[in-house]
Chain A
Amino acid sequence: EAGVAQSPRYKIIEKRQSVAFWCNPISGHATLYWYQQILGQGPKLLIQFQNNGVVDDSQLPKDRFSAERLKGVDSTLKIQPAKLEDSAVYLCASSLESRAANTEAFFGQGTRLTVV
Chain B
Amino acid sequence: AQTVTQSQPEMSVQEAETVTLSCTYDTSESDYYLFWYKQPPSRQMILVIRQEAYKQQNATENRFSVNFQKAAKSFSLKISDSQLGDAAMYFCAYRPGGGGADGLTFGKGTHLIIQP
Binding site for B on A (CB under 8 A): 33, 35, 40-45, 48, 55-56, 58, 89, 91, 93, 98-99, 101-102, 104-105, 107-110, 112
Q: Which chain A residues lie closer than 8 Å to B108 at the CB level?
A: 40-42
Interface size on B, residues (CB 8 A): 25
By the criterion CB–CB under 8 Å, are A42 and B100 in contact? Answer: no
Residue of A nearest to B106 (CB): A42
B100 engages A55 (CB within 8 Å): yes
Partner of B52 from A58, A93, A101, A108 at Cβ < 8 Å: A101
Q: How many Å lie between the Cα of A41 and that of B111 in the bound state?
A: 11
Q: Give the contacting residue for A91; candidates B45, B46, B99; CB below 8 A.
A: B45
Ordered nearest first, which 10 A-B pairs have the shortest CB separation? A42-B106, A56-B101, A45-B103, A107-B45, A98-B102, A110-B43, A109-B44, A48-B103, A42-B91, A55-B101
